[in-house]
Amino acid sequence: MFIKIVHLSIDLKDFQLRNVNLDIEKGDYVVIIGPTGSGKSVILETIAGFYTPEAGKIILEGQDITHFPPEKRNMSIVYQDYMLFPHMTVYENIAYGLKKTSDKDHIEKEVKTIASLLKIEHLLHRLPGTLSGGECQRTAIARALVVKPRLLLMDEPFSALDIKTKKELRQLVKTALKEYQTTTIHITHDLDDVWHLATKVVMIRKGRVLQIGPPEHIFTNPTDDFVANFVGANRS
C-alpha cells in the first residue's frame, strides 16, 4: 500500500474529522467530493502536515509520517488561487523548488520538460500578472510536479477556470501525471473532474467518509440517499 490513513480524527473546535480510513495505491488519482464544509480540505492539509491529528496515523510507503513537518513529507500542494511568486517569471516559479538540490543545467532540463508537457514553454519569460487563469494554474502545477513529489495534493485546482480551459487542463494534467507517475489526491465540487480523472472517489460529509470506490461504483451504487442525491444517481 502506497499511503494508508488509519482512524484519523481531528478536532478543530468548530469542526471535527472522525475516524477517516483510506487506502491509496501508487499511481492512484483519488478525488475527494462532498458539500462545502464537509472536511475535504482538512483531510488534504492533514496529509500535507498542516494539522496534527488527535488520533490515527498516516503511513506513507510503510513509514509513519503522522508527526513529520510538511517539509519532510516530499509532497506538493496546488491551490485554487495558484500562489505564484508575482515578481518571478514562469521559469523562475517552476524552478524554485529545485534550486537547493540541483545545478543550473539540471534545473533547465527539468523546467523545459514539464513546461513542454503542460504547453507553457512559450511563457517561461513571462510574469504571472500577464497570464490567464489557465496559464497560471498550469505554471502552479508545473512547479508542484517538477520536484517529483511522492504525492501531489490539489485543492479545487480548476474551480476558477472556464469550462473550455478546465477541459484542456484536465487532459494536460492527465498526460503529465502519467509521465511522472505521480499519485494524486484532488478535492473538487465538479463531477466532471471525477469522471475524467479519478481512479478512486471518496465521498465525505460532516467529517465522516460515507463511501469509497471507483467512479462507476459511486455513481451506480450509492450507499445512501445523500450520496445518490449528491452525484445525481438513483439508488437501486
Q: How far apart are CA 214 and CA 193, in angstroms?
A: 13
Q: Which of 54, 194, 170, 40 is nearest to 118 (CA)?
A: 170
Give pLDDT, residue 233.
74
pTM of the model: 0.94
Q: Radius of gyration over alpha carbons of the chain, in Å?
A: 18
For the chain, the average pLDDT equals 94
Q: Where along the chain do its domains lie? A: 25-50+62-74+153-236, 85-148
Instruction: Check residue 146 and report its DSSP letter.
Output: T
Q: How far apart are CA 18 and CA 96, in angstroms?
A: 36
Q: How far apart are CA 221 and CA 211, in angstroms?
A: 10
pLDDT range class, residue 234, cuts 50, 70, 90: low
pLDDT range class, residue 100, cuts 50, 70, 90: confident
Percent of the chain with pLDDT strictly greater than 70: 99
Mean pLDDT of the region 153-162? 93
Query: Which CATH number is correct for 25-50+62-74+153-236, 3.90.79.10, 3.30.230.70, 3.40.50.300, 3.40.605.10?
Result: 3.40.50.300
Reported as a single tens digit per residue, the pLDDT across 162-219 is 999 999 999 999 999 999 999 999 999 999 999 999 999 999 999 999 999 999 999 9
Rounded to 5°, the CA angle 123-129-135 comes to 45
Is the confidence at residue 236, as pLDDT, over 60?
A: no
Reported as a single tens digit per residue, the pLDDT across 9-50 is 999 988 999 999 999 999 999 999 999 999 999 999 999 999
Q: How far apart are CA 120 and CA 141, in angstroms?
A: 11
Is the confidence at residue 108, as pLDDT, over 90?
A: yes
A 10 A CB-CB count for 65 gives 19
